[in-house]
Chain A
Amino acid sequence: MKKLLILALLSTSIFAGKTLDAIKKRGSLKCGVSTGLPGFSYPDSKGNWVGIDVDFCKALSIAIFGNGSRVKYVSLNAQQRFTALQSGEIDVLSRNTTNTLSRDTSTGLNFTTPLYYDGQAFMVRKKSGITSAKQLNGASVCTQQGTTTELNMSDYFRANRMKLRPVVFESNDEVVQSFVKGRCDAFTTDASGLAAERSKFKKPEDFVILPEIISKEPLAPAVRQGDDEWFDIVKWTMFALIQAEELGLNSKNVDTFKKSKDPRIKRFLGRTPGVGKSINLDEKWAYNVVKKLGNYGEIYEANIGMNSPLKLKRGLNSLWTNGGLMYSPPFR
């Protein structure tokens, strides 16, 4: 196994600078997505892939081809995802994968900038009046047995000197059922998972997800090691989505900024040349992404935010100017 990995690592060097050429020659981008995760990547009733991870694939396709439909989606499960990237079956992995030190250093891949900061949170009944996880002292909390969720929870309660009454179950379904039936005051798992479970309830509006995030799950797209040019493209496409939101550009109003005097906007939209040439893309690539897909806030709200059944608040995924972590280096 080790030998195989080394072999895989060595041969990635042949790819240096080749990924973009290969994509252009093939005429399509091969994007690794999940086997179905609500809001992130899942097929709609007609079999088209949708979700925020899928929209990122589309953003890349627009940046390269000026058209969001030139993506070939490869559905991968948790075991297949890294092999698929190493073996060249996909060009980019956009599949709710947490960036961790061991994955980033040992599996022959590089994580780019996070598309979504997930993390463990708590959900309670609205009528309990609880608005912060700090108020959960002495609460009974339902969770799944033997997961990191359980450990994170007890760490958090201990660190805040609160009393915890854990109620653990074997399966996730049992956890949800017990919470609904009132066996516990709160229910904990990743925020995106909480939102998905909440949308199944009869009256989702009776439940709230508390704002505290107690663990770090930065879900980031990944590329193969050894092709810096391609790594840059993926990274900066993500930054473009954030930058557009920061500059107040969205799919509807971007054309009204064509005559803007703001030098930052002129550079971003490619009217002052530079942003395209430096990463081997069309000068208007960022403009195209915003025009044809939208900014980060737009794709967030449509897929997992307030315009979707999941109704996840922005929280950590707000712009840095609003107290979140979404921050783009300057486009210049």
Chain B
Amino acid sequence: MTELISKKPFFERFAIWLKKNLFNTPTNSVISIFLLAFIWKGIEGLFTWIFIKGVWSGGASVCREAGGFCFPFLFEKTRFIIFGFYPDGQLWRPTCAMLILIGTLFYSKEPNRWNKKLAYLWSISTFFIFWLMGGGLGLTEVTNDKWGGLPLTLLLATIGIVCSYPLGIVLALMRRSKLKVLKSISVVYIEIIRGVPLISVLFMSSVMFPLFLPEGVNFDKLLRAQIAIILFVSAYMAEVIRGGLSSIPKGQYEAAHTLGLSYFDTMRSIIIPQAIRIVIPPTVNTAIGMFKDTSLVLIIALFDLLNTTKTSLRDPEWLGFSLEAYVFVGLIYFVFCFSMSKYSQRLEREFGMKER
């Protein structure tokens, strides 16, 4: 049957598909027509808004007159949305830093490259990224209160995820430890962090924390937020990793014990490598959530991608183009999150095949 259909021309095949899936009963036909009309209406509206009424050149008044998608707004504001307050003549630096970061992430995606060399590559990349962003050694210094937009979001998310991972492993091991003290420290920590929203952790770090310090002593705002994010994510990572640790059969521990391996060696070379492999999909899940959660730093007035977008709407010349701005920034977030999600699916397939 399938062979017969596949030989027919495309339109005929499409007609058969329609008949079989959308119009097989009278009720379904009615529902289908209704929904198709609904979808068409939406697409038509979007199409008119972007292409027919859309404005490609001119100022804000032209856009307001036309009432369509205002491309001049994006042309004018993309620089601020992507780079925030970074000095104007130096924009190549955050651009290069982002390319290095994305390139390194891209290189690291193949599991067969996960070895010592990769660790060296990451330290070199990290050095270059911070050198490019911050300056020094021949580049003009740019203090981190001027960092913003996409580079800031990427840095907060990547550093947050990378640094919270080892912390998460330690917490997970502590939680499974036989020593009551270690176990209770870890349980209390994880449950407290998971019991409060990220906003309140960020808020404590930015509003309460300075009041405890002596006056005039200032702890870097960005660093404070980054530490808050790491502490927050590590609690979630710990739970993810603990799931992996629990799924390792007891026989593995016993076998390692019989071989005379110490606790440390057992964990390092037998248990953790297996556990981490099992929990890669939920880890990527946490990472996607994390990436989007970084946008909460706007409540402590750090200019991440979402905040630069919001702020770009405050220029009196260009008031009222929020739809354009949020569609644009939504697309950027989508590209990153969708690639992460696709990547996680691929890993899941690869590891699944090896295992089963």
Contact = CB atoms under 8 A, between A and B. Distances in A.
Interface of A: 4, 7-8, 11-12, 14-15, 35-39, 42-47, 72, 74-77, 79-80, 83-84, 86-89, 196, 199-202, 308-310
B317 interface: yes
A200 B319 contact: yes
A309 B301 contact: no
Interface of B: 64-65, 67, 76-77, 79-80, 83-88, 145-146, 148, 203, 206-207, 210-216, 218, 298-301, 303, 307, 310-317, 319-320
Contacts of A39: 316
Given A80-B301, A201-B64, A43 B311 contact: yes
Contacts of B207: 79-80, 83
19 contacts: A4-B211, A8-B215, A11-B214, A12-B215, A37-B314, A38-B314, A38-B315, A42-B315, A45-B79, A45-B80, A46-B80, A47-B85, A47-B146, A75-B301, A79-B203, A80-B206, A199-B316, A202-B64, A308-B316
A75 B302 CA distance: 8
Nearest to B311: A36
Contacts of A200: 64, 319-320
A80 B206 CA distance: 8
Nearest to B315: A42
A44 B65 contact: no
Contacts of B214: 11
Contacts of B312: 43, 45
Interface of B is mostly: helix
Closest 3 CB pairs of A and B: A200-B320, A36-B314, A87-B210
Given A83-B207, A87-B215, A309-B319, A42 B79 contact: no
B1 to A, nearest CB: 55
Contacts of A202: 64-65, 67
Given A42-B315, A88-B216, A196-B316, A80 B300 contact: yes
B316 A310 contact: yes
A86 B211 contact: yes
B310 A36 contact: yes
Contacts of A86: 211, 215
B80 A47 contact: yes
Contacts of A199: 316, 319-320
Given A83-B210, A88-B218, 14 more contacts: A8-B215, A11-B214, A11-B215, A12-B215, A42-B316, A44-B315, A45-B77, A47-B80, A74-B145, A76-B301, A77-B299, A83-B207, A199-B316, A201-B64
A81 B79 CA distance: 27
Given A43-B80, A45-B79, A83-B207, A75 B315 contact: no
Contacts of A44: 315
Contacts of B310: 35-36
B303 A15 contact: no
Given A47-B80, A80-B207, A42 B314 contact: yes
A9 to B, nearest CB: 11
Contacts of A308: 316
A79 B203 CA distance: 9
Nearest to A34: B314
Given A38-B316, A38-B319, A42-B315, A87 B213 contact: yes
Contacts of B320: 199-200
Contacts of A12: 215
A36 B318 CA distance: 13
A7 B316 CA distance: 41
A273 B299 CA distance: 48
Contact of B317 (A75, A79, A309): A309
A47 B83 contact: yes
Most chain A Cβ neighbours within 10 Å, of B148, B212, B216, B314: B314
Contacts of A76: 301
B215 A14 contact: yes
Nearest to B84: A47
Contacts of A80: 206-207, 300-301
A317 B251 CA distance: 81
Contacts of A77: 299-301
B221 to A, nearest CB: 8
Given A44-B315, A45-B315, A83 B211 contact: yes
B214 to A, nearest CB: 7
Contacts of A37: 314
A79 B76 CA distance: 31
A324 to B, nearest CB: 22
A7 B303 CA distance: 31
Contacts of A7: 211
Nearest to B63: A202
B76 A45 contact: yes
Contacts of A75: 301, 303
Nearest to A39: B316
